[in-house]
Amino acid sequence: MTSRTRPAGTAVLAAVLLATATGCTGEGGGSGGSGPVAGTAAPGTGVPGTAGRPTAPSAAVGAASAPAGFTLVASGDVLPHDSVIRRAAEDSAGDGHDFRPMLSGVKSVVSGADLAICHMETVYGKKGGPYTGYPAFKSPPEVAAALRATGYDSCSTASNHTLDDGAAGLARTLDVLDAAGVRHAGSARTAEEAARPALMKAGGATVAQLAYTYDTNGHPLPEGQPWAVGLLDERRVIADARAARAAGADVVVVSVHWGTEWQTEPDERQLSLGRTLTASRTGTRPDVDLIIGTHAHVPQAYEKVNGTWVIYGMGDQIAGDMVDHRGAFDPRGNQGSIGRFTFAPPRSPGGRWEVTRAEFVPQWFDTGRGRVVNLGADAAGDPRRAGIRDTIRRVVLSRGAGEDGLVMGR
């Protein structure tokens, strides 16, 4: 990602194949494999991926029961620039860094879902620092605890910044996420880990998350570790999706770090890859059930393609004031959306889990306050917030998603 943020104190592959990534710039600068195998229980539960949420009562012995449906939410880039790191230090009252207040505005949305997925774009530095923003990010490891406290179950970790601190930074990040109880997909510490899909329970379904990035900003894969980062290739994605099905996945979610930065319209590679992935089928069932995109730094459209929802870009969830390729402050870099999808069980054995309700929740990172704002619930009576909300809504619906049932949520 190549967005730069203004200095403190001042108020893909088409991209993927056609452009050279220059790094998620921000603040005076800017902005696979699969995660661990199922079986690691979320804290307080016996089931991975349920985030400690209550489960439905068991059916009476001998009674037949249909599997329960579930809701899934997904959000955009977590990209701690220098100003974000300073804010988290202030919010900690002198004891490290606390990112929980930043995310508190969307906690009800995230924790209210059966399965919640984030995008952890950067890697974590060592405890105690030093921590850095653009161009080579090393974020405070306390981010992971805040993601878990907000309700996130899993994060994609494949981005153009995954190798900002080499293999050590990659491994450190996954270790910290593991310790916080947050699953991950898109980068791996071993070949065995890379070969296993991240499988999580949600309602009555087993959900697989796969994650890929168009590039690593020119950083080569660690020597002898070609599996360390999931690089975006449509044949690989389809093969991994089919392998996830074979491993027991009822629903396959693909996280993709792709697109052209600062472009609200999906580029041709996004459109082409979206068509290819959603058209791929094994028997009567699609291989991919949902595509969620990150990287562009601005909100992009949602679209139903071949019967499958695609979010081309959710925008940034957390980022400093952003400066675009022209060197100008661009407020779109702090705008985004959360996708929320309700899945219902198959109508017949072996059928597809269908999305019965599709929603987007507009969000905005208020850099002045250092807080994520849920604009679906908190924009009334504030002309500025209402204007940002309406801008996001226009982009999200720009490819006809409203006609396919997408609505704005709270």
Mean per-residue pLDDT of the chain: 88
pLDDT band at 326 (very low <50, low <70, confident <90, very high): confident
How confident is the model at residue 27, as a pLDDT?
55
How confident is the model at residue 64, as a pLDDT?
55
Contacts of 291 (CB under 8 A, 6+ apart): 253, 254, 256, 274, 277, 278, 308, 309, 310, 311
**47, pLDDT greater than 90:** no
- Mean pLDDT over 25-29 rounds to 50
Kindly list the structural domains of the chain, giving each domain's residue range(s) and its CATH number in brackets, ordered by start: 14-50+68-408 (3.60.21.10)
**213, pLDDT greater than 80:** yes
How confident is the model at residue 49, as a pLDDT?
47
pLDDT band at 66 (very low <50, low <70, confident <90, very high): confident
CA 351 to CA 353: how far, in whole Å?
A: 7
Is 234:16 a contact under the CB 8 Å cutoff? no
Residues of the chain with pLDDT > 90: what percent?
Answer: 80
CA distances from 64 to 61, 343, 345, 352, 377 (A): 9, 20, 15, 20, 39
**11, pLDDT greater than 90:** no
**379, pLDDT greater than 80:** yes
CA 314 to CA 293: how far, in whole Å?
A: 6
**12, pLDDT greater than 80:** no
**Closest-CA residue to 319 (of 72, 25, 58):** 25
- Mean pLDDT over 186-191 rounds to 98
CA 405 to CA 269: how far, in whole Å?
A: 25
pLDDT band at 354 (very low <50, low <70, confident <90, very high): very high
How confident is the model at residue 350, as a pLDDT?
87
**306, pLDDT greater than 60:** yes
How confident is the model at residue 26, as a pLDDT?
56
**9, pLDDT greater than 50:** no
**35, pLDDT greater than 70:** no
CA 67 to CA 50: how far, in whole Å?
A: 15
**58, pLDDT greater than 80:** no
How confident is the model at residue 227, as a pLDDT?
98
How confident is the model at residue 59, as a pLDDT?
39
Is 138:169 a contact under the CB 8 Å cutoff? yes
**Closest-CA residue to 317 (of 74, 134, 124):** 74
Using alpha carbons only, what angle is made at residue 177 by residues 23 and 51, rounded to the nearest 5 degrees?
A: 120
pLDDT band at 304 (very low <50, low <70, confident <90, very high): very high
How confident is the model at residue 307, as a pLDDT?
98
pLDDT tens per residue across span 240-255: 999 999 999 999 999 9
**20, pLDDT greater than 80:** no
Residue 111, H or E segment: helix 107-111
